[in-house]
Amino acid sequence: MDKRDSIIEAASKIFEANGFRGTGVDAVLAPSGVSTRTLYKHFSSRGELVQAVLEKRHRQFMQRLEDTEPDDPVGDIFDQLEQWLDEHGARGCMLLRARSEYAGASPEIVALVRRQKQEFEREIARRIALSLGQENPSLTMQVWLLFEGATAAASVSENAVVRQAKQAAKALLAMARGQAK
């Protein structure tokens, strides 16, 4: 792993545990063992580091989705979420937490999170179209809300809440299939 990736990995863990804006640069750098000078050699600003962390997090989850060819494309989104939470912990969505912390301070971070969420929503739409044989924007929004809600709820409950969201998504998909006939 090169220095840049090492910084991103360490910063990701620190931001995940402590938040973004309230975490000082020294705390971010300590786990990676790099100097402030090295940080700014790889990132022009702290905001750029935050964006790199968010981009890596988003890419990791999207790659998980791309690496699967499930029989149940919609249910798989929730299966991947449950595995993700088991591996990374349930603290809510890092992207949405960053968006909240930077809402008034960084339009770049807010825009990045918006683009990432839109990309994920398009993936849900693609999977719904695979399942139904046609697009269904309303169902896409409903499944997206279930996913985001399950992500948040797992942070104050148990990861099993994701299975409940999956069941709700499957029920909505079944209803949509019935209406399409």
Whole-model pTM? 0.92
What is the pLDDT averaged over residues 163-178? Answer: 96
What is the pLDDT averaged over residues 81-93? Answer: 93
Tokens of 150: 């399950």
Which position has the token pair 């220095």?
3
Task: Return the pLDDT at 124.
Answer: 98
Give residue limits of the domains in the chain.
46-180
- Residues 6+ positions from 88 with CB-CB distance below 8 Å: 16
Q: What angle do CA 84, 88, 89 make, to 5 degrees?
A: 100
Q: What is the pLDDT of residues 26-51, one digit of tens each?
A: 888 888 788 899 999 999 999 999 99
Query: What average pLDDT is seen over the chain?
Result: 94
Rounded CA gap, 61 and 88, in Å?
11
The CATH code of domain 46-180 reads 1.10.357
Picking from 30, 31, 40, the residue whose alpha carbon sits closest to that of residue 4 is: 40
Higher pLDDT, 139 or 30: 139
Where residue 180 falls among pLDDT bands split at 50, 70, 90? Answer: low
Length of the chain: 181
Lowest mean pLDDT among 17-31, 97-111, 112-126, 134-148: 17-31
